[in-house]
């Protein structure tokens, strides 16, 4: 089981490399998700380096939560054009960034697990994802994103699977670390790593099947 934790970064890096290769031919919302993929790759590499050096890599998690939320908001904002106003998504974005900054500075410091921000992020992203599923059923939206519907649905499905499966882990992560035996805690993070791999596999399928313009 530990192999999943150890090698879960491989799908992320493979998707990053594939994204760099096909970046010039991507378009629409599938191109917007590239920023989230590239951010994840950079954070993953730095995190692994710190881990091998036995350094605390939790400050990276604080950065990743804020920056990742920005990237995902831009992705969904691109899809929601004409349906949900940009003022709404930007207001949610600013409020979340303000909240996560306060949390990192005064509540759960940068060297601790920021479960509050992770939980808030997961809830908002799940709402965005469910909204996307509903919006993409509309015939007008299908026509607007003709040729991209399959890819958008795969990206959105990956995000939905990851954040719904990880919500309880995010929320109770700090408590689990304190109260759960180390072997049971390992299984918890194996589950998390597995669903992260599923998400990036969904991203790969989406980008692989995106038609050329």
- What are the tens digits of pLDDT across the range 67-92? 999 999 999 999 999 899 899 999 99
Domain that holds residue 91: 2-208
Tokens of 107: 């509540």
Our CA angle for 19, 63, 76, nearest 5°, is: 55
Tell me the pLDDT tens digit for each residue of 191-210.
888 899 999 999 999 999 99
What local confidence, expressed as pLDDT, does residue 212 receive?
A: 77
CA distances 57 to 53, 112, 140, Å, are 10, 10, 45
In a domain, 192, yes or no: yes
Task: Please list, in sequence order, all residues whose beta carbon lies within 8 angstroms of the beta carbon of residue 48, skipping any fewer than 6 positions away.
Answer: 9
Rounded Cα distance, 144 and 82, in Å: 11
- Residue 3: is its pLDDT beyond 60? no
Number of domains in the chain: 1
What pTM, to 2 d.p., does this model score?
A: 0.92
Tell me the pLDDT tens digit for each residue of 121-165.
999 999 999 999 999 999 999 999 988 999 999 999 999 999 999
In a domain, 25, yes or no: yes
What local confidence, expressed as pLDDT, does residue 126 receive?
A: 97
In a domain, 213, yes or no: no
In a domain, 137, yes or no: yes
In a domain, 124, yes or no: yes
At 188, the pLDDT band (50, 70, 90 cuts) reads confident
Closest by alpha carbon to 152, among 206, 82, 77, 211?
206
In a domain, 197, yes or no: yes
């Amino acid at each position: 089981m530990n192999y999943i934790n150890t090698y879960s970064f491989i799908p992320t890096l493979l998707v990053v490399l594939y994204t760099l290769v096909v970046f010039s031919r991507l378009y629409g919302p599938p191109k917007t998700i590239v920023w989230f993929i590239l951010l994840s790759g950079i954070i993953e590499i730095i995190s692994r380096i710190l881990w091998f050096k036995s350094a605390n890599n939790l400050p990276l998690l604080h950065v990743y939560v804020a920056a990742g939320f920005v990237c995902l908001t831009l992705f969904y904002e691109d899809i929601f054009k004409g349906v949900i106003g940009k003022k709404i998504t930007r207001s949610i974005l600013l409020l979340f960034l303000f909240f996560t900054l306060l949390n990192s500075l005064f509540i759960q410091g940068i060297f601790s697990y920021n479960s509050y921000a992770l939980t808030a992020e997961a809830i908002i992203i799940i709402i965005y994802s469910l909204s996307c599923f509903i919006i993409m059923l509309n015939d007008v939206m299908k026509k607007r994103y003709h040729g991209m519907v399959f890819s958008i649905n795969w990206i959105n499905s990956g995000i939905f699977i990851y954040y719904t499966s990880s919500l309880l882990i995010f929320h109770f992560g700090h408590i689990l670390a304190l109260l759960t035996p180390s072997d049971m805690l390992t299984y918890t993070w194996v589950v998390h790593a597995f669903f992260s791999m599923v998400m990036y596999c969904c991203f790969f399928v989406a980008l692989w099947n995106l038609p050329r313009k």
